[in-house]
Structure 1
Amino acid sequence: MEDRVIVDIQDHIAHVRLNRADKMNALDEAMFAGIIEAGESLKTNKDVRAVVLSGEGRAFCAGLDMGNFSNMANGNSDGSAESSDDGLGRLERRTHGLANRAQYTSWVWRELPVPVIAALHGVAYGGGCQISMGADIRYAAPGTKISIMEMKWGLVPDMGATPYMHKLLRDDVLRELTYTNKVIEAEEAQALGLVTRVIENPIAAALATAEQIAGRNPDAIRGAKRILNDAPFQHPQDILLAESREQDQLIGFPNQIEAVMANMEKRAPKFGQ
């Protein structure tokens, strides 16, 4: 993982950095593996309360590495160097829960129990755009170029972002961006709903927001993420029930009491894991 993805953890915040600056963090086999390894390691790290996801160098992520297109031309539809002989046909095989390997590079960030903030700059094309959709929040530098790029290469978006893009964007807007692989800049992306905020230094802003989150009751933050992850796909009665169940696991428990006491005593809280 260290070659392609760097993970630094400090003060309950994990900063995950795509580390292939010479290729604008394009997704090759090692990058896919590094992203998944980073996500899976953070899923079980109870000391982490927030995650920032960014890219080194000139861009967040330029999408699929051209070498993977060569693998596709050789008959491996997932762009990997491996193929399957079990008759399942490459991408339809579920390898990571409900997702395949490529989809999991985006979906893993939704499965993390803590909030993830993506900091975008340069470009977020194709797979890079889809990985960013796995984050809870997206900050982008002015002028960042974003595209659902797959149609340019004769493909459909297939890295796990469609369920969330369909909730963020109007249906006709998502269709236009998908069918045309139009490149939009951060300011338009914010107006459409793909970007949370446009800000001069998105990494600094993401780290500042992560610090705020890390200072909240970690039990409540995890519970809120569970509710918000499921809400777009649930009936209102199920969402209301989920709220009540989460609250029952918070009221009167040590971290919730500490949140109240810290506010009343005007001091920084001291939460347990």
Structure 2
Amino acid sequence: MALAERIAALACETLDLEVSEEILTVTISRPEVLNALSPVVIAELRRVFGPLRSELGRADETGRPDWSIRGVILTGAGEKSFVAGADISVMRGMSPAEADAYTAEAQELTSWLETLPVPVVAAVNGFALGGGCEIAMSCDYIFAAETASFGQPEVGLGLIPGFGGCVRLQQLVGVAAARELIFTGRRIDAAEALRLGLVLRVLPDQAALLTAVRESLRLVARQSAVAVAAAKRTVRAAQALPTDQGLELERSAFTACFGTEDMAEGTAAFVEKRRPAFTGR
């Protein structure tokens, strides 16, 4: 059974899973609490993204790599909220040791999203606050509806961002803007998030949002899976490097592409003026 079929068949209490046109849509579905992140939600997201990270692109018993999922949409159920944050009603009773285990699992999940070999796009409808903003920031890019809002309000609870907000927010919007947003806990709308560079595109409503994300990932699915995976690894790794070291890393990754079947097929198809038939090898 292909990985896509196994993932789509997972029984989840807080997630809706759908695979269509090689795109997996993961919808966090706790509308009664604005899709807040509870330990159960984190555990179920880990059940989905753990196998994706370790098995996508791996050869099956026939020797063919499994690229049955070429992109992931992460969104929230309903129009009010993507994820309104961590579930405070659960967190308030945690001991420091329990909080450490909770944030460790959440941080590892965000790292899995970053290192998945296919793009993950956050489709943000409504609130993306606290842990919701942090989950969105660990995706490759964010598309938002005009009604979306973002923020890291943890200081108002006597806390700080714990799922990567202190790290990723400054990478996306700059150090000063990240400090101001974290220190004040203020909420920003989609227009300001776009201006700051937190959001890539803003769409008029939820339907247009999901259509735009699917169109983006359909374009990805037409490309070489091994090339997209290599590009994602290289862009992420180069973020933390000085320019000269980043260029060296890029050269190494570029050169490695010349040993793939997809490079041979892609260049041949270009010369022959036809659409390439990539195999993901």
Q: TM-score, normalised by structure 2?
A: 0.84
Summarize deviations over 1:92-143 as a string: whole Å, max 9, x none.
x7x9xxx811212322210212211110011101000000000111000003
Shift in Å, 1:66: 2.7
| Equivalent residues in 2 for 1:163-242, closer than 5 Å | 163-200=167-204, 201-242=208-249
* Structure-2 residue corresponding to 1:148: 152
* Aligned-partner SS, 1:168: helix
Does the Cα contact within 8 Å between 2:238 and 2:249 map onto a contact in 1?
Answer: no
Shift in Å, 1:62: 0.6
Does the Cα contact within 8 Å between 1:5 and 1:38 map onto a contact in 2?
Answer: no
Distance in 1 between the 2:125 and 2:139 partners?
A: 15
Consecutive unaligned residues in structure 2, runs of 5 or more: 1-10, 58-66
Does the Cα contact within 8 Å between 2:146 and 2:190 map onto a contact in 1?
Answer: yes
Shift in Å, 1:236: 1.9
* Aligned-partner SS, 1:249: helix
Match for 1:57 among 78, 87, 111? 78
- Give the aligned length: 255
RMSD: 2.0
Does the Cα contact within 8 Å between 2:74 and 2:122 map onto a contact in 1?
Answer: yes
* Structure-1 residue corresponding to 2:108: 104
Decide whether aligned partners of structure 1 residues 18 and 266 sit closer, same or farther in structure 2, where only a CA change above 3 A counts. Answer: farther
Consecutive unaligned residues in structure 1, runs of 5 or more: 84-89
Distance in 2 between the 1:23 and 1:269 partners?
A: 46
Shift in Å, 1:235: 2.1
Q: TM-score, normalised by structure 1?
A: 0.86
* Structure-2 residue corresponding to 1:255: 262
Distance in 1 between the 2:269 and 2:256 partners?
A: 20
Shifted more, 49-58 versus 2-11: the winner is 2-11
Shift in Å, 1:265: 4.5
Distance in 2 between the 1:269 and 1:71 partners?
A: 56
Shifted more, 60-69 versus 173-182: the winner is 60-69
Summarize deviations over 1:25-64 as a string: whole Å, max 9, x none.
1111210111111111211223222211111113110111
* Aligned-partner SS, 1:240: helix
Q: Aligned AA for 2:88?
A: M
Does the Cα contact within 8 Å between 1:126 and 1:150 map onto a contact in 2?
Answer: yes
* Structure-2 residue corresponding to 1:5: 15
Shifted more, 116-125 versus 59-68: the winner is 59-68
Q: Aligned AA for 2:211?
A: A
Distance in 1 between the 2:179 and 2:213 partners?
A: 29
Match for 1:36 among 33, 37, 46? 46
Distance in 2 between the 1:19 and 1:220 partners?
A: 33
Distance in 2 between the 1:269 and 1:15 partners?
A: 26
Moved over 6 A (4+): none
* Structure-1 residue corresponding to 2:61: none
Does the Cα contact within 8 Å between 2:230 and 2:253 map onto a contact in 1?
Answer: yes
Distance in 2 between the 1:221 and 1:65 partners?
A: 35
User: Is residue 20 of structure 1 aligned with residue 20 of structure 2?
Assistant: no
Distance in 2 between the 1:153 and 1:101 partners?
A: 21
Decide whether aligned partners of structure 1 residues 162 and 49 sit closer, same or farther in structure 2, where only a CA change above 3 A counts. Answer: farther
Identity %, equivalent residues: 29
Q: Aligned AA for 2:278?
A: F
Distance in 2 between the 1:152 and 1:39 partners?
A: 31
Q: Aligned AA for 2:83?
A: C
Distance in 1 between the 2:51 and 2:30 partners?
A: 20
* Structure-1 residue corresponding to 2:96: 77
Match for 1:128 among 112, 125, 132? 132
Shift in Å, 1:162: 3.0
